[in-house]
């Protein structure tokens, strides 16, 4: 019978540190590739630690901070496009309301003439 303390358990090697995620897991969450996460760690944009196996471990809090700092602001063109789209929808709604009002007035006027 083997002693469980002496046997090698492959799950112990891949077992994550509690409350952290690997660079690959962080990449999936952040919707970037693993290399981007590693570069961000090396550049000091993400605070991370290496575990005893040499794998980077990142806390969800650190990943959230990184994602907030790296959200790309919309370009000026995109902002203008959104504003114009909203104005267009507003104008279309006003035109539709005027058409209904005109139709009601025409119907009311027609009934009054009888």
Segment 27-51 mean pLDDT: 92
The pTM of the whole model exceeds 0.75: no
pLDDT of residue 72: 62
Q: Which residue has the higher pLDDT, 7 or 112?
A: 112
Confidence at residue 106, expressed as pLDDT on a 0 to 100 scale = 84
How far apart (Å, rounded) are the C-alpha atoms in residues 106 and 112?
10
Is the Cβ–Cβ distance between 91 and 97 less than 8 Å?
no
Residue 87 reports pLDDT greater than 80: yes
């Amino acid at each position: 019978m083997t002693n469980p303390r002496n046997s090698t358990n492959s799950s112990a090697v891949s077992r994550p540190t509690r409350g952290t995620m690997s660079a690959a897991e962080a990449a999936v969450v952040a919707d970037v590739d693993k290399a981007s996460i590693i570069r961000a760690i090396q550049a000091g944009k993400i605070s991370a630690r290496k575990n005893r196996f040499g794998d980077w471990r990142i806390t969800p809090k650190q990943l959230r901070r990184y994602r907030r700092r790296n959200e790309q602001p919309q370009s000026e063109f995109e902002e203008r496009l959104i504003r114009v789209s909203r104005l267009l929808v507003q104008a279309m709604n006003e035109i539709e309301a005027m058409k209904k009002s005109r139709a009601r007035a025409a119907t009311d006027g027609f009934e009054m003439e009888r």
